[in-house]
Amino acid sequence: MSRILITSALPYINGIKHLGNLAGSMLPADVYARFMRARGHEVLYICATDEHGTPAELAAAKAGQDVRTYCDEQHDIQRRAGEQFGLSYDWFGRSSSPQNRELTQAFCEALDKNGLIEERTDKMVYSIDDGRFLPDRYVEGTCPHCGYDKARGDQCDNCGRLLDPTDLINPYSAVSGSRNLEVRDTKHLYLLQTKVEGRLRDWIASHDNWPHLAKSIANKHLEEGLIDRGITRDLAWGVPVTRDGKPRPGFENKVFYVWFDAPVEYIGATREMFDAKGDPEGWKKWWRLDAGADDVTYVEFMGKDNVAFHTVSFPATILGSGEPWKMVDTLKAFNWLNWYGGKFSTSMNRGVFMDQALELLPADYWRWYLIANSPESSDSSFTWEQFQATINKDLADVLGNFVNRIVKFTESKFEAKVPEGGEAGPLEEKLHADLSTLIAEATQAFEDMEMRKAAQAIRRIWVLGNEYLQEAAPWTAFKTDTGRAAVIVRHGLNLVRLYASLAQPLIPSTAEKIAQSVGESLPMTWPSTDAKAELSRLPVGQGVAAAEVLFKKIEDEQVAEWTQRFGGSEA
């Protein structure tokens, strides 16, 4: 048994997340966590709301609330949405927690003691009409590298280059749209990333196991050349800047940049969890190499836009601290799930958000679609038509139909019990061989975090069961040879049990119903690649009971209604 630490990108506090956010970090992290638990490993899956920065201040002001009250409410909303989607966090924390504040300040002080923090007087953009300095992402303009006219002051979403606000051409305030901007002097702390570049390059080079997307983004930023990064901002809401445990002189009205404190919350949230358990030192065994974390395998899941911060900025912080922190072993990055080729947008009525999705259909419909169409090798696009086809074919026709047919046949012909009698024949031997191969493929795909491949392999296993049942035809065999029919039914019911086990990471709520239909329950251990053994797990005489319809087909009328409500190709 291994110890596996899993984190996914922290959802920002200002509003419920859309399906693209879910598909690009939180859901695949949950699928992997569930798979690893089924394999018998000790898993810790950590996530949290990212609560600092200007967007939280502005969203709170728009809602007529103080920032703390706003964040309290939004954290609860996001936590409930995650629970309703079956996200099996071991802890869902908050970057505004006392634990994260203490750790963030400690990291800065360690960096400072190592000569990696420098006070600099910056020229920053000040909006005269807004009466405030504008944080990086609230200055927009034209990217000097690629000409994209909606680049933000921290990063260009078009070419991916990290920017400073003063780099932008024709900048304007994203708060008010005002171009009445001027550059003023303000003092800030800088993390001297350039001084740890050698260690950072060596660390990145040592990770040959990283998926291509994460590795290529990390190398791209190294090739462009590291720069020293400002880690404080002129804001009121955030982690206060300290030195030796006291407010740092000249920084009393400043806070740490959200991108400095947010990654620290992975550690902070773990500490929150163990504090809540009454074990204040327990978090260290997951994060400190000098406290036993050297046997932990740490895996991160995130969208491609977050990779630079987690392969460069946060590792520079950890390496620069000189302390024995556990660092990420594998970073699984995802491309974007788009909406009919464009971006999700609340203001333009484009796309479905997590709370809205659950108003339409249960979570497992969405979970299956998003994993089966995971944006791994390239960006992918959600369409209502593809969603309908995927659900109807994969879940209703292939999986749901198989489970319903074999269990109902058992109810009507074998007194709703796993039958005895008969000997396996050539059809069963072929089934065992084909199934063993496919279970091995699915298992390896999950191990490799290849989500789309894993879903494809499991769908092929569902199809294989249907093909076996169709060819073996127990309804025909029952008329002349009940022993032969019993063999087929017994294999079919064990396939149902196997399907429940394999479906646990992907569609956990439905997997529980499938297991119950053959007298079993979750959690189940992950199946071995010995299909013959797996298809003999159910004891003869065990009762079965057909579940309600597992998946209802999506009708054309529903697609038309949802397209009108949320937008489609015409939007």
Confidence band of 33 (pLDDT split at 50, 70, 90): very high
pLDDT score, position 570: 55
Mean pLDDT of the 269-285 span: 98
Q: How far is CA 6 from CA 24, 328, 388, in A?
A: 14, 9, 32
pLDDT score, position 133: 87
pLDDT in tens, 307-333: 988 999 999 999 999 999 999 999 999
Confidence band of 568 (pLDDT split at 50, 70, 90): confident
For residue 366, which phi and psi values (nearest 5 degrees)? -70, -40
Cite the beta strand spans of 212-293 per DSSP E: 229-230, 232-233, 242-243, 246-247, 255-256
User: Mean pLDDT in the chain?
Assistant: 94
pLDDT in tens, 109-161: 999 999 999 999 988 899 999 888 887 878 999 999 999 999 999 889 899 88
Cite the beta strand spans of 412-470 per DSSP E: none
Cβ-based neighbour number of residue 10 at 10 Å: 25
pLDDT score, position 571: 45
pLDDT score, position 349: 63
Q: Is pLDDT above 90 for 350?
A: no
pLDDT in tens, 97-109: 999 999 999 999 9
- For the chain, what percent of residues have pLDDT higher than 90? 84
Distance CA 126, CA 213 (A): 36
Q: Measured over all CA atoms, what is the biggest interatomic distance in the chain, rounded to whole angstroms? A: 92
Q: What is the 3-state secondary structure (H, E, C) of 514-549?
A: HHHHCCCCCCCCCCCCCHHHHCCCCCCCCECCCCCC
Distance CA 102, CA 245 (A): 9
Closest CA to 498 of 402, 568, 412: 402
Q: How far is CA 233 from CA 314, 353, 389, in A?
A: 17, 31, 48
Which pTM value belongs to this model? 0.92
The runs of H, that is alpha helices, within 343-390 are 354-360, 363-372, 384-390
pLDDT in tens, 399-418: 999 999 999 999 999 999 99
Cβ-based neighbour number of residue 155 at 10 Å: 19
pLDDT score, position 567: 77
Quick one: how many helices (H) and strands (E) in the chain?
23, 18
Q: Output the six-digit token pair for 174.
A: 């994203």
Q: Is 373 helix (H, G, I), strand (E, B) or coil?
A: coil
Q: What is the CA radius of gyration of the chain?
A: 27
pLDDT in tens, 470-511: 999 999 999 999 999 999 999 999 999 999 999 999 999 999
pLDDT in tens, 58-98: 889 889 999 999 999 999 999 999 999 999 999 999 999 99
Do residues 173 and 129 make contact, with C-beta atoms less than 8 angstroms apart? Answer: yes
Confidence band of 181 (pLDDT split at 50, 70, 90): very high
Distance CA 1, CA 308 (A): 32
Q: Is pLDDT above 70 for 347?
A: no
Closest CA to 45 of 73, 26, 71, 18: 26
Closest CA to 308 of 453, 165, 193: 193
Closest CA to 307 of 338, 328, 333, 330: 333
The runs of H, that is alpha helices, within 252-322 are 258-261, 265-276, 284-287, 307-308, 314-321
**How many Cα atoms are found within 13 Å in the side-chain-facing hemisphere of 448?**
15
Distance CA 178, CA 254 (A): 24
Dihedral angle of Cα 246, 247, 248, 249, to the nearest 10 degrees: -120
Q: Is pLDDT above 90 for 439?
A: yes
For residue 148, which phi and psi values (nearest 5 degrees)? -65, 130
Question: Of the ranges 218-222, 334-338, 388-392, which one carries the lowest mean pLDDT score?
Answer: 218-222
pLDDT score, position 175: 84
- For the chain, what percent of residues have pLDDT higher than 70? 99
Distance CA 404, CA 465 (A): 13
